[in-house]
Amino acid sequence: MNNRLKINPEILLRHLHEAAIEQLCGDLKEQGFVVTREESFGRYKADVTARSGQETTVYEVKVGELPDAVIERIASIKEDIDQRGGIRFKLVLVNEPGKKAISIDDIESTLQSHIESDTPSEVVELASHQYIEEVSDVDISEIEVSKDGLLVKGDGMLTVELQYGSDSDVRNDNGMVGKDTFPFEFECLLNHDLEIEEMKHLVVDTSSYYE
């Protein structure tokens, strides 16, 4: 008779948190940083601290979704760290198995609205007309919290309708309409209303179009 052991989710998350910290420390050491764990900055004890020359970065590692109360606490920690001068604060998000690390309300539609109003050149050059149909599968990999808002990094999928020729060309079978989906990565600053204040980086990988 087989006995199946179901792991308590809280225990799993604790071990996942520890594994993420171990991997982060290893990655930073490979990049040449001097790494410490649980270093104190006032009342705050950092998960990981990395130093290289005059550069010091403090990392807070979180697993799973972040309740509003936790986000507010992280913003307070960052503000305290920033006041010390010469120290950067970074929040590292870790995916729970089968789940997204964090969800931001309406992030897909927010990104879609931005891409519709300022379509990247790599998409514009694909066809005579481009229509942004959907932004989906957005996965947030990193968030930096500040008093100005959230600096969000991540990736997703962009579905585009591509029209070759004018509307009349299409009606007269002299044009063509098709759809394609491309991966993209982004980095943007969201204000406290979760609206895009600044798009710092947006790249759509259209290489599959040319294959």
| pLDDT for the residue numbered 183 | 95
Q: Does domain 9-94 have CATH number 3.40.50.1820?
A: no
Each residue's pLDDT, cut to its tens digit, for the chain (211 residues) gives 455 666 566 776 678 888 889 999 999 999 999 999 999 888 888 999 999 988 899 998 887 766 777 777 888 888 888 888 888 888 887 766 655 556 777 899 999 999 999 999 999 998 888 899 999 999 887 787 766 778 888 999 999 998 887 777 657 676 677 889 999 999 999 887 888 999 999 999 999 988 7
Q: Quick check: helix, strand or coil at residue 55?
A: strand
CA distances from 174 to 39, 107, 160, 161, 181 (A): 67, 38, 20, 17, 24
**49 close to 67: Cβ distance less than 8 angstroms:** no
pLDDT at residue 5 in the model: 61
